[in-house]
């Protein structure tokens, strides 16, 4: 419901971060801090970066990152 009530942001898209901020203001957010590399796959550049990383660091080596 909170996401449905969130107004579109940058580029006319609904930003999940905006909905999370609203929920955090109500004290209803639980988070987990992870170790590792993060990629923004919302666009072609980030998706390609993630794909290349996986190929170089996981596929070629046979090891999990």
pLDDT digits (tens, 9 = 90+) for 4-24: 888 888 788 888 888 888 888
pTM (2 decimals)? Answer: 0.52
pLDDT for position 65: 58
Tell me how far CA of residue 41 lies from CA of 27, 30, 36, 48, 59, in angstroms: 28, 23, 16, 8, 19
pLDDT in tens, 40-58: 998 999 999 999 999 998 8
Task: Kindly list the domain boundaries of the chain, sorted by start residue.
Answer: 1-31, 32-65
pLDDT for position 39: 94
């Amino acid at each position: 419901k909170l996401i449905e009530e969130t107004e579109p942001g940058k580029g006319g898209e609904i930003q999940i971060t905006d909905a999370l901020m609203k929920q955090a203001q109500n004290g209803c957010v639980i988070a987990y801090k992870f170790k590792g590399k993060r990629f923004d796959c919302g666009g072609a550049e980030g998706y390609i970066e993630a794909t290349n990383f996986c190929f170089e660091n996981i596929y070629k080596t046979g090891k999990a990152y």
